[in-house]
């Protein structure tokens, strides 16, 4: 059985909450707890699959976290799961969908594949918290850059990585996550607002200023297709309205907006 339909209503509530000045969803206690759990699962799946054991990855295909499901699908394909099945599993790992049922054909095939693999003997590799963070961000990056998601869904994908911040024990890892975030939002606007001379200064210590800037500006962002990143809609910010709301009333000027030519070429993907 295929996963359920996109949860469009949930995305509307997220935007409405941000517009009302409420705490961002990724900073709420339940999101933080889920992020910690997801990061632990990613470490476990990576450790097992590095030894050739695909069973934890196959088990994770029905996990509540779309990030965990997506990573599990990627690792299974790396171990040899056929591409059509892996593609179905990757597509099902969507922030707007619930977990697939265990009886879904793609999940069943993946579990049969995992059960048939031989597991290497020997000590498992060490996967640090920072390693797990970078693994998750690489998976999220791939989806941001290649999936034909609607802009609102892309932003939800991006924010799926931000929820990991609370799960990170090292300030250096939080700073790295902030620098990753700056590769997919408007770095010029952020650095100017923070009066920072560069990314290193902006993310100094633990990146807290960058995360706060994103929370304050999330509703003013729009996905710029050519640059493959989110930029600030300065007119919407001046009007104190979300970019989506503002552009319903005031169309983009010619040569500006989501489909405008690249400003500086593709600089995403740190």
pLDDT per residue, tens digit, the chain (270 aa), is 444 433 332 333 333 334 445 788 888 888 888 888 999 999 999 999 998 999 999 999 999 998 899 999 999 999 999 999 999 999 898 887 889 999 999 999 999 999 999 887 777 788 888 998 998 899 888 888 887 778 788 898 898 889 888 888 899 999 999 999 999 999 999 999 999 999 999 999 999 999 999 999 999 999 998 999 999 999 999 999 999 999 999 999 998 999 999 876 444 433
Provide the pLDDT for residue 147: 75
Provide the pLDDT for residue 17: 38
Token representation of residue 264: 């500086």
Residue 99, classified by CB atoms within 10 Å of its CB into exposed (0-12), middle (13-18) or buried (19+), is buried
Long-range contacts of 151-154 (CB under 8 A, 24+ apart): 151/222, 151/223, 151/258, 152/11, 152/15, 152/244, 153/6, 153/11, 153/94, 153/95, 153/96, 154/223, 154/230
Token representation of residue 175: 């700073």
Token representation of residue 177: 């996550």
Model confidence pLDDT, tens digit, residues 150-166? 878 889 889 888 988 88
Provide the pLDDT for residue 5: 36
Residue 255, classified by CB atoms within 10 Å of its CB into exposed (0-12), middle (13-18) or buried (19+), is exposed
69 Cβ neighbours under 8 A, 6+ residues apart: 60, 61, 62, 63, 89, 92, 93, 99
Provide the pLDDT for residue 270: 37
Q: Which residue shows structure tokens 């697939």?
A: 100
**What span, in angstroms and rounded, lies between the C-alpha atoms of 77 and 83?**
7
């Amino acid at each position: 059985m295929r996963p359920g339909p996109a949860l469009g209503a949930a995305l509307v509530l997220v935007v409405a909450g941000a517009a009302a000045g409420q705490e961002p969803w990724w900073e709420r206690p339940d999101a933080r707890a889920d992020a910690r759990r997801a990061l632990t699962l990613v470490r476990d799946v990576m450790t097992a699959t590095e030894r050739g054991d695909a069973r934890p990855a196959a088990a994770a295909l029905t996990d509540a976290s779309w990030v965990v499901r997506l990573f599990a699908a990627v690792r299974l394909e790396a171990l040899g799961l056929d591409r059509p099945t892996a593609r179905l599993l990757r597509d099902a790992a969507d922030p707007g969908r619930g977990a697939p049922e265990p009886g879904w054909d793609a999940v069943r095939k993946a579990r049969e594949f995992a059960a048939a693999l031989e597991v290497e003997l020997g000590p498992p590799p060490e996967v640090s918290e920072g390693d797990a963070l970078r693994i998750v961000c690489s998976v999220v990056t791939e989806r941001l850059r290649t999936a034909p998601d609607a802009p609102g869904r892309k932003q939800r994908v991006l924010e799926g990585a931000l929820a990991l911040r609370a799960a990170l024990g090292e300030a250096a890892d939080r700073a790295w996550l902030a620098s990753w975030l700056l590769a997919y939002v408007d770095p010029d606007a952020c650095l100017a607002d923070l009066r920072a001379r560069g990314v290193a200064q902006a993310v100094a210590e633990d990146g807290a200023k960058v995360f706060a800037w994103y929370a304050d500006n999330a509703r003013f962002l729009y996905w710029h297709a050519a640059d493959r990143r989110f930029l600030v809609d300065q007119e919407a910010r001046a009007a104190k309205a979300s970019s989506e709301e503002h552009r319903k009333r005031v169309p983009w000027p010619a040569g500006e907006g989501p489909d405008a030519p690249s400003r500086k070429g593709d600089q995403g993907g740190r």
